[in-house]
Amino acid sequence: MSQQDLGKCVAYALEQYFRDLDGEKPCAIYDMVLRKVERPMLEVVLARAGGNQTLAAEILGINRNTLRKKLTEHQLL
């Protein structure tokens, strides 16, 4: 899957979200999307890194301490 395909998946999911609202006012979409995308991203990258947090942080382009904080937030430790 390319970056463009990933973007299309997110766009499709958001369009479906708006349809499902059926006229209700949306709120805090930015935080909702980040919460829904971040956990599976962390899970997949950590698995690809063989559980090595230093490597996973490098793949993600974030500091290892930031990764540990996010893993804790998502109860992945």
Domains in the chain, CATH or no CATH each: 3-73 (1.10.10.60)
SS (H, E, C) 3-48: HHHHHHHHHHHHHHHHHHHCCCCCCCHHHHHHHHHHHHHHHHHHHH
pLDDT grade for 71, boundaries at 50, 70 and 90: very high
- Integer Cα distance of 61 and 55 in angstroms: 10
The number of beta carbons lying within 10 Å of the beta carbon of residue 14 is 14
Q: What is the reported pTM? A: 0.80
pLDDT tens track for 4-61? 788 999 999 999 999 999 889 988 999 999 989 999 999 999 999 999 999 999 999 9
